[in-house]
């Protein structure tokens, strides 16, 4: 009877070891597959990003050429927009310095309005 018990224990121990080995092998296999999938996804994302960048550049070139064809200078438009943005920034800074409480009140009102709209 003791021999049967020892044999059963050995079989159980061998079974547990085999299960551990199979689990470790399966985990290593899954980790390798996950790594390959991650690398593949990263490569595909890079390709999509490059494609979108090319598309945006093509679109910008097309719009620019069409604007030039109608007599509009896109470079001058960009320059004017920058000047206007700079002028607007100076106007805002001057207004805030001259009337800080008014600027604070307007900022609070805008914040409440945006908060009210986003809560809906």
Secondary structure of residue 120 in the 3-state scheme: coil
Domain containing 42 equals 1-72
* Helical residues (DSSP H) of 70-99, grouped into ranges: 74-98
Domain match, 1 and 35 both? yes
| 90, 84 contact by CB (below 8 A) | no
Nearest to 75 by CA among 65, 85, 86, 87: 65
Domain match, 19 and 64 both? yes
Rounded CA-CA distance 80/86 in Å is 10
Burial class (CB in 10 A: 0-12, 13-18, 19+), 15: exposed
pLDDT tens across the length of the chain (120 residues): 566 788 888 888 888 899 999 999 999 999 999 999 989 988 999 999 999 999 999 998 898 888 888 888 888 888 999 999 999 999 999 999 999 999 899 999 999 999 999 987
Domain match, 80 and 67 both? no
pTM equals 0.45
Residue 81 DSSP class: H
């Amino acid at each position: 009877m003791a021999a049967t018990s020892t044999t059963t224990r050995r079989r159980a121990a061998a079974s547990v070891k085999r299960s551990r080995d199979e689990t470790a092998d399966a985990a290593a296999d899954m980790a390798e597959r996950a790594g390959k999938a991650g690398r593949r996804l990263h490569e595909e994302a890079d390709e999509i990003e490059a494609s979108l960048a090319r598309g945006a550049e093509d679109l910008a070139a097309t719009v620019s050429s069409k604007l030039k064809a109608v007599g509009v200078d896109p470079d001058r438009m960009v320059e004017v927009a920058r000047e206007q943005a700079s002028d607007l920034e100076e106007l805002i800074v001057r207004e805030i310095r001259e009337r800080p409480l008014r600027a604070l009140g307007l900022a609070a009102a805008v914040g409440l309005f945006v908060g009210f709209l986003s809560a809906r």
